[in-house]
Structures are given as structure tokens and as C-alpha cells.
Amino acid sequence: MPFVKVASLSKLPPGSVTEVLLGDTPYALCNHDGELHALWGTCPHASGPIGQGLMNGQWIACPWHEWAYDCQTGANDYDPSIKLDRFAVKVDGDDILIDPEQRA
């Protein structure tokens, strides 16, 4: 699948995260200091919506039980062997695009 527009850069300021859907599949899209990252949007702990969480530095905390993941690597803060998949992301003007088939 080619890159697909999922959001606008102007609506995702640094330090923020948002949930985007491609069909029924959620992704967490975050802006850490101007770097964009796209991660699998479901927490492996209890299937919480990662993209609806909060960012603290590079960490995204799941809103259900506060499991935190590094948006740059996908690794869990407590157990780095637990990782969220990361996906290719690019910007075209104000459009943020991800490729859900291309792992980053």
C-alpha cells in the first residue's frame, strides 16, 4: 500500500500525539521535537488506545493503565522487549502520510 494521508502537520504541534484510523485500524501519530513517528495504536497490555494518551518527552502513555512507550523506538519503558510496531511516515506540505505496510 502506498503512503496515505492521515493528518495535517498544522494540527499536530511538537509534544502532541493523536490517534488516526486507516479503516478500522488505529495508529498513534506523535510529534516529538518536530520529528514525526507513527506507531501501532493498540497497547499490548489491555488494548488501550495509544493515540489517545499523553506525551511526556519522547514517551507516550496509554490512557487506560499508563503503560509508556518511546515514540522513537516503540519500546516499553519498563520492559524494552515489549514494543509497538513503528511505521514509515513522511510529510508532504501540510499533509502527514504513513505507509501501514512499511515498518520503520
How high is the pLDDT of residue 6? 97
Domain of 54 in residue numbering reads as 4-103
Distance from C-alpha of 37 to C-alpha of 74, rounded to nearest angstrom: 9
Distance from C-alpha of 26 to C-alpha of 22, rounded to nearest angstrom: 7
Please state the rounded mean pLDDT for residues 44-58.
97
Q: Please list the residues that pair with 51 across neighbouring strands.
A: none
Instruction: Look at residue 1 and tell me whether its pLDDT is greater than 70.
Output: no
How high is the pLDDT of residue 55? 97
How high is the pLDDT of residue 104? 85
Q: How many domains does the chain have?
A: 1
Read off the CATH number of the domain in which 26 is found.
2.102.10.10
Distance from C-alpha of 91 to C-alpha of 94, rounded to nearest angstrom: 7
C-alpha cell belonging to residue 42: 493498540
Q: What percent of the chain has pLDDT over 90?
A: 95
